[in-house]
Chains A and B, each alone.
Chain A
Amino acid sequence: MNNKFSFDANNFRKEFPIFNKKINGKDLIFLDTAASAQKPQCVIDSVNKCYSENYANIHRGVYHLSANLTSQYERVREKVAKFINAKSNKEIIFTKSATEALNLIASCLYKDYLKEDDEILLTYLEHHANIVPWQINNIGKKTKLVVADLNDDTTLNIEDLIKKISKKTKLISITHMSNSLGHINDIKKVCNEAKKRNIPVVVDGCQYIAHGRVNVAEIGCDFYVFSGHKIYGPSGIGVLYGKQSWLENLPPYQGGGDMIERVTFEKTTFAELPQKFEAGTPPIAQVIGLGSAIDYVKKINVDEIYLYQKYLYQYAYESLRSIPSLNIIGHSDNKGGILSFTLDYAHTNDVGVILDQEGIAIRTGHHCTQPLMKKLGIDSTARASFGLYNTKNDIDRLSSSLKRMKEFFNE
């Protein structure tokens, strides 16, 4: 393993004010970026500046502040489109979260597209946000969820997924990267198989957006969703990419301001894309913050961040694998910066509480993937996840705490 990595995380870390904070008197070791990333000063400043210098409601305002912020807001849409290589700004819809984006797709597809007895193909690696919307919108149509299996090493069994595509399959909705285990799925292969059969594919990119370069044109998906807070942007902003042909044909999701063309009591006609799907005042400052976050990761170099996080995973894997009574859940060659584990002698909740005493923040629980946990025969995992500000020292601290932990519980 290459120990000489030129990525200067220590320097980047200085740009995140949260790391000036002490937790229980100790330096913060933040290993929960998979849940939400910390924010660099430039993102915080951009949100502050939006409210303190530029704020007004956007669209249709004739005065300077509104017009100015509208153009900033729309420039971020353009930035996002370029970031994931969408063909047009019209294919980028801002939502309040990736969860809302998935709910939007499910709600709209159920209105016209999905019919009685249709099958939706998912995988065991899905977050609840890519399971529950397909269930709660399934009113009176009795569509069925079909679930692709895992290999013995807990990675997705693509052959099983392909085998489960039937004549009834009308949609494949799949995560790009498992939020619980970190496996990266071969989305391109899934999309190729789907395309042969003319089946649309929804990709949940929440984790992957911070772990790999996304190119929707190359992937060939019909929809791609992600959230801003996972890539160092603010919370409260999600992105829905949808192929223009799909978005043009789908009915609106919510009614309200901005999504209309003309309203009468008899009939309403709808705005063109993308406004058609952005009813109400959108998360304006959050969009501005997302733009700043994208600038930030691009400036550092997106590919280097991704490689560095993979490197941290490998380093953590090597450090933790020899710790007695510690079980790493889901090691594979193609993973982002997420490492899940359990301990034989303590519940993951105990592990999280004790690590917190040492200033180490990890996540414990089912990570909103209960069907996956059930499949693995466990209730929960402890999950350490890495961002661009983490260092080998963070992992050394985690490792040394975990080495001492057995003594604590067995004394």
Chain B
Amino acid sequence: MMDIEEKILNYKKELDFFDEPIDKYKYLLDQGRKSRDFPEKYKQEVFLVKGCQAQVWLVPNYNKGTISFLGDSDAFITKGMISIIIDIYGDRSPKEIIESDFGKLNMLGLDNILTPSRRNGVYSMLEYVKNYAKGYLEV
């Protein structure tokens, strides 16, 4: 299995393939469409990522030392980004997540999506990923 940085580099390679920024967004839409179904029962307040313009849900699952995530959003581009982030950080130990350099995500060149001021939920979701990992580290 690729480590976190390798995964990011892999996505970077795919995104670099597109010359036009608009095609990168189309790629995100496709990622969102391909992502795992998100059960309606999880669309609860407790799983909402706060501080987002769009609604974003993130559900962690801890099993035998690894965390996986399910995520969804009512905004399609945000959903695509979430599915990428879940793929990058999912199925890993809390320690691996915490020790990773979150700044490496900037390599994806999707700065205006990842900037906190855009308030589209992705930045907030990263904070939740970190915090869930920290929480399970102490389990």
Task: Give A contacts to B, CB under 8 Å.
Answer: 24, 346-350, 353-354, 356-357, 364-365, 379-380, 408-409, 411
Chain A residue at minimum C-beta to C-beta distance from B121:
A349
The answer to whether A349 touches B22 (Cβ under 8 A) is no
**A-B CB contact pairs (8 Å), 12 listed:** A346-B75, A347-B73, A348-B53, A349-B75, A350-B76, A354-B22, A357-B22, A364-B53, A365-B119, A408-B22, A408-B26, A409-B29
Contact of A349 among B21, B26, B112, B120 (CB under 8 A): B120
In the bound complex, what is the Cα–Cα distance between A346 and B74 (angstroms)? 8
The answer to whether B53 touches A349 (Cβ under 8 A) is yes
Contact of B77 among A24, A349, A411 (CB under 8 A): A349
Q: A347-B75, A409-B76 are in contact. Are A353 and B21 (CB under 8 A)?
A: no
In the bound complex, what is the Cα–Cα distance between A411 and B118 (angstroms)? 25
Does B62 reach chain A (CB closer than 8 Å)? no
Does B54 reach chain A (CB closer than 8 Å)? yes
Residues of A close to B25: CB separation below 8 A: 353-354, 357
The answer to whether B76 touches A356 (Cβ under 8 A) is no
The answer to whether A350 touches B77 (Cβ under 8 A) is yes
Residues of A close to B76: CB separation below 8 A: 346-347, 350, 409
The answer to whether A353 touches B113 (Cβ under 8 A) is yes
In the bound complex, what is the Cα–Cα distance between A354 and B78 (angstroms)? 12
For A347, A364, A411, the residue with the greatest tally of chain B CB atoms inside 10 Å of its CB is A347
Does B55 reach chain A (CB closer than 8 Å)? yes
Residues of B close to A356: CB separation below 8 A: 112
The answer to whether B53 touches A353 (Cβ under 8 A) is no
B63-99 vs A, Cβ < 8 Å mask (1 yes, 0 no): 0000000000111111000000000000000000000
Chain A residue at minimum C-beta to C-beta distance from B24:
A357
The answer to whether B55 touches A379 (Cβ under 8 A) is yes
Whole-angstrom distance between the Cβ of A352 and the nearest chain B Cβ: 9
Whole-angstrom distance between the Cβ of A355 and the nearest chain B Cβ: 11
The answer to whether B78 touches A349 (Cβ under 8 A) is yes
In the bound complex, what is the Cα–Cα distance between A347 and B74 (angstroms)? 7
Chain A residue at minimum C-beta to C-beta distance from B21:
A357
Whole-angstrom distance between the Cβ of B121 and the nearest chain A Cβ: 8
Find residues 109-139 in chain B having any chain A CB closer than 8 Å to their own CB: 112-113, 118-120
Residues of A close to B113: CB separation below 8 A: 353
In the bound complex, what is the Cα–Cα distance between A411 and B30 (angstroms)? 10
The answer to whether B120 touches A353 (Cβ under 8 A) is yes
In the bound complex, what is the Cα–Cα distance between A357 and B18 (angstroms)? 14
Residues of A close to B77: CB separation below 8 A: 349-350, 353-354
Residues of B close to A349: CB separation below 8 A: 53-54, 75, 77-78, 120
Residues of A close to B54: CB separation below 8 A: 347, 349
Whole-angstrom distance between the Cβ of B95 and the nearest chain A Cβ: 33
Whole-angstrom distance between the Cβ of B39 and the nearest chain A Cβ: 20
B22-36 vs A, Cβ < 8 Å mask (1 yes, 0 no): 100110010000000
Residues of B close to A409: CB separation below 8 A: 29, 76
Residues of B close to A348: CB separation below 8 A: 53
Whole-angstrom distance between the Cβ of A161 and the nearest chain B Cβ: 31
In the bound complex, what is the Cα–Cα distance between A373 and B75 (angstroms)? 17
Whole-angstrom distance between the Cβ of A219 and the nearest chain B Cβ: 35
For B22, B55, B75, B78, the residue with the greatest tally of chain A CB atoms inside 10 Å of its CB is B75
Contact of A24 among B21, B74, B78 (CB under 8 A): B21
Which 8 A-B residue pairings sit nearest by Cβ, starting from the closest? A347-B75, A349-B75, A349-B54, A365-B53, A350-B77, A349-B53, A357-B22, A350-B75
Residues of A close to B22: CB separation below 8 A: 354, 357, 408
Whole-angstrom distance between the Cβ of B45 and the nearest chain A Cβ: 14
Chain A residue at minimum C-beta to C-beta distance from B120:
A349
The answer to whether B26 touches A411 (Cβ under 8 A) is yes
Residues of A close to B120: CB separation below 8 A: 349, 353
In the bound complex, what is the Cα–Cα distance between A354 and B21 (angstroms)? 10
Besides A347-B76, A353-B113, 9 more A-B contacts (Cβ < 8 Å) are: A347-B75, A349-B53, A350-B75, A353-B25, A364-B53, A365-B53, A379-B74, A409-B29, A409-B76
In the bound complex, what is the Cα–Cα distance between A347 and B77 (angstroms)? 9
Chain B residue at minimum C-beta to C-beta distance from A411:
B26
Residues of A close to B53: CB separation below 8 A: 348-349, 364-365, 380
In the bound complex, what is the Cα–Cα distance between A364 and B74 (angstroms)? 14
Chain B residue at minimum C-beta to C-beta distance from A347:
B75
In the bound complex, what is the Cα–Cα distance between A350 and B122 (angstroms)? 13
Find residues 3-25 in chain B having any chain A CB closer than 8 Å to their own CB: 21-22, 25
In the bound complex, what is the Cα–Cα distance between A411 and B25 (angstroms)? 12
Residues of A close to B75: CB separation below 8 A: 346-347, 349-350
In the bound complex, what is the Cα–Cα distance between A411 and B112 (angstroms)? 23
